[in-house]
Amino acid sequence: MSHRVAILGVGMTKIEGAKKDQKLDDMVFEASSKALADASVTREGIDSVVISGCDELDGRCISSMLLAMPAGAYLKDEIKVTDEGCYGVILAAMRLMTGLFDLSLVISWCKTSEAPVSDVMRMRWDPFYHRGFGMNHITSTALMAGVYKSQYGIPMDIPARVVVKNRKNGARNPNAHLQRPIKLSEVRSSPVVSWPLRALDCAPESDGACALVLASARKARELKRDPVWLAGFGWATDSYYLGGRDLSKLRSLGIAAGMAYGMARIKNPLKEIDIAEISDFSSYHELMVYEGLGFCRPGRAQDLIKEGLTDMEGVLPVNPSGGLLSSNPFTASGLFRVCEAYLQVKGNAENHQVQGVKRALAHGSSGFCAQGNAVFILSR
């Protein structure tokens, strides 16, 4: 990258099932205040605010109206991108790279407890050809899991072990929504919600907000900071029409990863990346993400799990925070991944810190069957 982008700090609320004590704007103010404090900058210094959210989950038809102010945007340059929070990092980074801006706050949130998530997802389908078939985020993820499972003959224990791994990690993360470790047998005996997904194969629904402070290299130098660098990022989308897609692979993730790796000069991700925080909407989805990110060949993600390579002690720990299977503030989940990756590189992840992290990957995803994907490389 010609103009480098630095991350100076992050702020996260505790992720919970229902944050009843906070109105939506209260929660967003908490996250932005924490990020500014973590970065040791004040609102006055911010010259670009990039916010990201999903109106329909917020129950407001232009939700940035309310939330621009708790994001610190009063009389500031402000823009909103939808819907996955991590797209805010992309837009903010590009704005900094133009040289027109120096210090940016990126923020996202989601209060799934206020919205009928399934109904909102159903309304994402077009009314003509898809909406009538009861498809939501769970059933479409299951559709993809089913294709993947039958294509590669994935034994049932493999996805269950993904759940056990992530929930074990989540138990060490005081910020996580679900903090109880679970056993393989519990996953196996949990009810099927949409074949082949069982209840514990699926991410919960959570409330939370998070924010980052990004700076131009010039500004980071001026502030004499020891930042984490955004070494690369990439994003891409796939078709809306599932019938025209190969649901056994995440095509747009491969394209996004290629762009990010190119920018960060990564050739062998499994070796060169120290930890990954990925958006695992289901246990099967995590396996597919390994393949999309090029950690292994198609169909071989099961080997990584069998050999424990993505455990906390493995060569590439995936989701030390517990991932989405532990906490899922839906459209903010990808931005939480970037925050968690930052903590790991900075060495601030406390109980779920992996030792010696120099380079971390973060991944966000949105749309049915992970239509859109974004990948970030953070480094020292």
128 is a site residue for other proteins (CB under 8 A): yes
Integer Cα distance of 266 and 278 in angstroms? 18
Burial of 265 (0-12, 13-18, 19+ CB in 10 A): exposed
CB of 219 to other proteins, least distance (A): 16
Pick one of 66, 156, 242, 296: the residue that binds other proteins (CB under 8 A). Answer: 66
218 is a site residue for other proteins (CB under 8 A): no
Burial of 69 (0-12, 13-18, 19+ CB in 10 A): middle
CB of 264 to other proteins, least distance (A): 14
CB of 159 to other proteins, least distance (A): 26
Pick one of 19, 161, 172, 337: the residue that binds other proteins (CB under 8 A). Answer: 19
Q: Which 3 state secondary structure label does DSSP give 333?
A: helix
Tokens of 180: 């109880």
Integer Cα distance of 200 and 193 in angstroms? 9
Binding mask 157-186 for other proteins (x = CB under 8 A): ------------------------------
CB of 15 to other proteins, least distance (A): 15
353 is a site residue for other proteins (CB under 8 A): no
56 is a site residue for other proteins (CB under 8 A): yes
319 is a site residue for other proteins (CB under 8 A): no
125 is a site residue for other proteins (CB under 8 A): yes
End-to-end Cα distance, the chain: 15
100 is a site residue for other proteins (CB under 8 A): yes
Closest to other proteins by CB, 100 or 192? 100
Binding mask 256-285 for other proteins (x = CB under 8 A): x--x--------------------------
Stretch that binds other proteins, among 251-259, 297-305, 310-318, 349-357 (CB under 8 A): 251-259
Stretch that binds other proteins, among 125-133, 148-156, 175-183, 313-321 (CB under 8 A): 125-133
239 is a site residue for other proteins (CB under 8 A): yes
Closest by alpha carbon to 280, among 345, 340, 342, 347?
340
Tokens of 154: 């994935």
Pick one of 85, 170, 227, 234: the residue that binds other proteins (CB under 8 A). Answer: 234
Question: How many other CB atoms are found less than 10 A from the CB of residue 334?
Answer: 31
CB of 183 to other proteins, least distance (A): 34
Closest by alpha carbon to 27, among 322, 279, 332?
332
Does residue 5 contact residue 232 with C-beta atoms inside 8 Å?
A: no
368 is a site residue for other proteins (CB under 8 A): yes
In which order are the strands placed within the sheet that holds 228-237? 48-52, 103-111, 207-216, 5-12, 228-237, 372-379, 359-366, 275-277
Does residue 378 contact residue 360 with C-beta atoms inside 8 Å?
A: yes
CB of 364 to other proteins, least distance (A): 12
Closest to other proteins by CB, 121 or 147? 121
355 is a site residue for other proteins (CB under 8 A): no
Tokens of 175: 């910020």
For residue 227, give the DSSP letter.
P
124 is a site residue for other proteins (CB under 8 A): yes
Please, which residues have CB within 8 angstroms of residue 161's CB and are 6 or more apart in sequence?
Answer: 184, 305
120 is a site residue for other proteins (CB under 8 A): yes
93 is a site residue for other proteins (CB under 8 A): yes
371 is a site residue for other proteins (CB under 8 A): yes
Tokens of 122: 């159903």
Q: Looking at this protein, which amino acid is placed at residue 192?
A: V
